[in-house]
Structure 1
Amino acid sequence: MKNIFACIVYAAPLFLLSPVLVAQKKPAIPLLVSTHPSATAGKPSMSLQAAVAQAHVYQQQQPGRSVEIRFQPGTYFLDSTLLLTAGYFNGNVTFRPAGKPGTVTLSGGKPLQLRWAPWKNGIYKASVNIPFEFSHLYINNTQQVRARYPNYDSSAKHYNGTAADALSPARIKTWQHPEGGYIHALHRAEWGGYHYRITGVNADGTLQLEGGYQNNRQMGMHEQHRFVENIFEELDAEKEWFYDKATQTLYYKPAAGTNLQTAMVVVSRLSETVVMKGDAAHPVKDITFKDIRFAHTNATFMDTREPLLRSDWAIYRGGTVLLDGTENCVITGCEFDHNGGNAVFVSNYNRHANISHCNIHDAGGSGICFTGNPDAVRAALFEYNQSPVFAGMDTAAGPQSPNYPDSCMAYDNLIYRTGRIEKQSAGVQISMAMDITVSHNTIYDVPRAGINVSEGTWGGHVIEYNDVFNTVLETGDHGAFNSWGRDRWWYPDRQVMDSMVALHPWLVKQDAVKTNILRNNRFRCDHGWDIDLDDGSSNYHIYSNVCLNGGLKLREGFFRTVENNVILNNSFHPHVWFENSHDIFRHNIVTSSYKPIGIKYWGDIIDYNTFPDVAAINTPTDKHSQAGNPLFVSPATGNYQVKPGSPALKAGFKNFPMNQFGVVSANLKALAKKAPLPVLKAATAASSNISNWLGAQVKNIETLGERSAAGLPDNKGAFLVAVPENFRYPVKTGDVILQVGERNVNNVDDLLKASTFYANKKVPLVVFRNQQRVNINQ
Structure 2
Amino acid sequence: MKMIRLYALLLTAVTGALATTAQERLSNDTVYIPVGIQSRHSAKLYGNVYTAARLQAVLRENRERHPGKTLAVVLMEPGTYYLDSTLVITPELANGNGAVVIMPAHPGDDVTLSGGQPVKVKWRRWKNGIYKAKLELPYSFDQLYINDRQQVRARYPNYDSSAQYYNGSAADAISPERVKTWKHPQGGYVHALHKGEWGGYHYRITGVHPDYSLQLEGGYQNNRQMGMHASRRFVENIFEELDTAREWYYDQPAKTLYYKPAPGVRLSRATVVVSRLPQAITLKGSANNPVRNVTIAGLRLAHTAPTFMDTREPLLRSDWTIYRGGAILLDGTEHCTIRDCEFDHNGGNAVFVSNYNRHAAITGCHIHDAGGSGICFVGNPDAVRSPLFEYNESQPLAAIDTVRGPKTNHYPDSCTVYNNLIYRIGTIEKQTAGIQLSMAMNISVLHNTIYDVPRAGINVSEGTFGGHDIAYNDVFNTVLETGDHGAFNSWGRDRYWHPDRGAMNDLTEAHPELILQDAIYTTRLHHNRFRCDHGWDIDLDDGSSNYYIYNNVCLNGGLKLREGFYRTVENNVILNNSFHPHVWFKNSHDIFRHNIVTGPYKPIGIRYWGDELDFNLFPDKATLPAETDQHSMAGDPGFVNPIAGDYRVKAGSPALRIVFNNFPMDSFGVISPALRLLAKKAPLPVLRQQHLIGTSETTWLGARIKNIETLGERSAAGLPDNNGVYLVRIPDNFPYALQAGDVILKAGNTVVQNVGDLQKAYNREGDKPATLTIFRNQREIILKF
Q: Which segment drifts farther, 615-624 or 521-530?
A: 615-624
Counterpart selection for 2:753 from 746, 750, 754: 746
User: Which residue does 1:235 correspond to in 2?
Assistant: 242
**d(CA) in 2 for partners of 1:48, 1:204:** 49
Q: Which sections of structure 1, spanning at least 5 residues, go unmatched?
A: 1-5, 11-20, 41-45
Contact 2:51 2:83 in 1 (8 A): no
Q: CA RMSD in A?
A: 1.7
Contact 1:729 1:777 in 2 (8 A): no
Deviation at 1:68, TM superposition (A): 1.3
Deviation at 1:758, TM superposition (A): 5.0
**d(CA) in 1 for partners of 2:339, 2:693:** 47
User: Which residue does 1:571 correspond to in 2?
Assistant: 578
Contact 1:451 1:481 in 2 (8 A): yes
CA deviation profile, 1:238-266 (whole Å, cap 9, x unmatched) = 10000001100000000011110000110
**d(CA) in 2 for partners of 1:660, 1:39:** 45
**d(CA) in 2 for partners of 1:131, 1:353:** 37
Counterpart selection for 2:509 from 502, 507, 523: 502
User: Which residue does 1:434 correspond to in 2?
Assistant: 441
The within-5 A match list for 1:667-682 is 667-682=674-689
User: Which residue does 1:28 correspond to in 2?
Assistant: 30
**d(CA) in 2 for partners of 1:58, 1:147:** 47
**d(CA) in 2 for partners of 1:316, 1:619:** 49
Counterpart selection for 2:329 from 322, 327, 335: 322
What amino acid maps onto 1:556 in structure 2?
E
What amino acid maps onto 2:358 in structure 1?
R
Counterpart selection for 1:218 from 204, 207, 225: 225
TM-score (norm 1): 0.95
What amino acid maps onto 1:603 in structure 2?
G
Counterpart selection for 1:776 from 749, 769, 783: 783
Counterpart selection for 1:394 from 387, 396, 401: 401
Task: Describe the SS at the equivalent of 2:676.
Answer: helix
**d(CA) in 2 for partners of 1:239, 1:83:** 34
CA deviation profile, 1:109-159 (whole Å, cap 9, x unmatched) = 011111001111110000000112211000011000000000000000000
**d(CA) in 2 for partners of 1:331, 1:255:** 36
> Are positions 1:87 and 2:92 aligned together?
yes
Q: Which segment drifts farther, 69-78 or 666-675?
A: 69-78
Deviation at 1:625, TM superposition (A): 0.6
User: Which residue does 2:608 correspond to in 1?
Assistant: 601
**d(CA) in 1 for partners of 2:617, 2:206:** 59
Deviation at 1:49, TM superposition (A): 5.5
Deviation at 1:80, TM superposition (A): 0.5
Contact 1:384 1:492 in 2 (8 A): yes
Counterpart selection for 2:61 from 51, 57, 61: 57
Counterpart selection for 1:109 from 102, 116, 119: 116
**d(CA) in 2 for partners of 1:118, 1:392:** 67
**d(CA) in 2 for partners of 1:68, 1:507:** 49
Task: Describe the SS at the equivalent of 1:773.
Answer: strand
**d(CA) in 1 for partners of 2:457, 2:282:** 25
Runs of 4+ in 1 over 6 A off after TM superposition: none
**d(CA) in 2 for partners of 1:684, 1:264:** 59
What amino acid maps onto 1:75 in structure 2?
T
**d(CA) in 2 for partners of 1:762, 1:611:** 46
**d(CA) in 2 for partners of 1:735, 1:480:** 28
CA deviation profile, 1:477-499 (whole Å, cap 9, x unmatched) = 00000001010111101010000
TM-score (norm 2): 0.94
CA shift in 2, pair 1:650/1:35, >3 Å = same
The within-5 A match list for 1:87-236 is 87-89=92-94, 90=96, 91-236=98-243
What amino acid maps onto 1:718 in structure 2?
V
Deviation at 1:193, TM superposition (A): 0.3
Counterpart selection for 2:558 from 551, 562, 569: 551
Deviation at 1:87, TM superposition (A): 2.0
Task: Describe the SS at the equivalent of 1:676.
Answer: coil
**d(CA) in 2 for partners of 1:583, 1:682:** 26
User: Which residue does 2:82 correspond to in 1?
Assistant: 77
CA shift in 2, pair 1:152/1:102, >3 Å = farther
The within-5 A match list for 1:492-641 is 492-641=499-648
Deviation at 1:56, TM superposition (A): 3.0
CA shift in 2, pair 1:483/1:102, >3 Å = farther
Deviation at 1:30, TM superposition (A): 1.6
**d(CA) in 2 for partners of 1:57, 1:34:** 18
Q: Which segment drifts farther, 523-532 or 112-121?
A: 112-121
CA deviation profile, 1:72-105 (whole Å, cap 9, x unmatched) = 2121010000011122223211111002335110
Deviation at 1:642, TM superposition (A): 0.3
User: Which residue does 1:17 correspond to in 2?
Assistant: none
> Are positions 1:482 and 2:479 aligned together?
no
Deviation at 1:436, TM superposition (A): 0.5
**d(CA) in 1 for partners of 2:534, 2:41:** 59
Task: Describe the SS at the equivalent of 1:596.
Answer: coil
Q: Which segment drifts farther, 699-708 or 67-76?
A: 67-76
> Are positions 1:354 and 2:356 aligned together?
no
**d(CA) in 2 for partners of 1:170, 1:66:** 63
Determine what percentage of the aligned residue pairs are the same residue. 63
**d(CA) in 2 for partners of 1:458, 1:35:** 47
Task: Describe the SS at the equivalent of 2:463.
Answer: coil
CA shift in 2, pair 1:439/1:743, >3 Å = same
CA deviation profile, 1:721-764 (whole Å, cap 9, x unmatched) = 11111111111111111111111110011111111025563521
Deviation at 1:425, TM superposition (A): 0.2
What amino acid maps onto 2:93 in structure 1?
Y
What amino acid maps onto 2:75 in structure 1?
F
Contact 1:185 1:225 in 2 (8 A): yes
Contact 1:24 1:64 in 2 (8 A): no
Contact 2:56 2:88 in 1 (8 A): no
Contact 2:41 2:55 in 1 (8 A): no
Deviation at 1:9, TM superposition (A): 7.9
What amino acid maps onto 2:184 in structure 1?
H
CA shift in 2, pair 1:659/1:323, >3 Å = same
Contact 1:687 1:702 in 2 (8 A): no
**d(CA) in 2 for partners of 1:55, 1:111:** 25
**d(CA) in 2 for partners of 1:729, 1:112:** 69
Task: Describe the SS at the equivalent of 2:370.
Answer: coil
CA shift in 2, pair 1:725/1:126, >3 Å = same
**d(CA) in 2 for partners of 1:39, 1:267:** 25
**d(CA) in 2 for partners of 1:521, 1:130:** 48
CA deviation profile, 1:551-605 (whole Å, cap 9, x unmatched) = 0000000000000000000000000000010000000000000000000100001
Deviation at 1:687, TM superposition (A): 3.8
CA shift in 2, pair 1:191/1:51, >3 Å = closer
Deviation at 1:61, TM superposition (A): 2.9
Deviation at 1:321, TM superposition (A): 0.3
CA deviation profile, 1:18-45 (whole Å, cap 9, x unmatched) = xxx9x975342222110332599xxxxx
User: Which residue does 1:335 correspond to in 2?
Assistant: 342
Contact 2:82 2:114 in 1 (8 A): yes
User: Which residue does 1:491 correspond to in 2?
Assistant: 498
CA deviation profile, 1:637-667 (whole Å, cap 9, x unmatched) = 0000000111111001100000000001111
> Are positions 1:283 and 2:290 aligned together?
yes
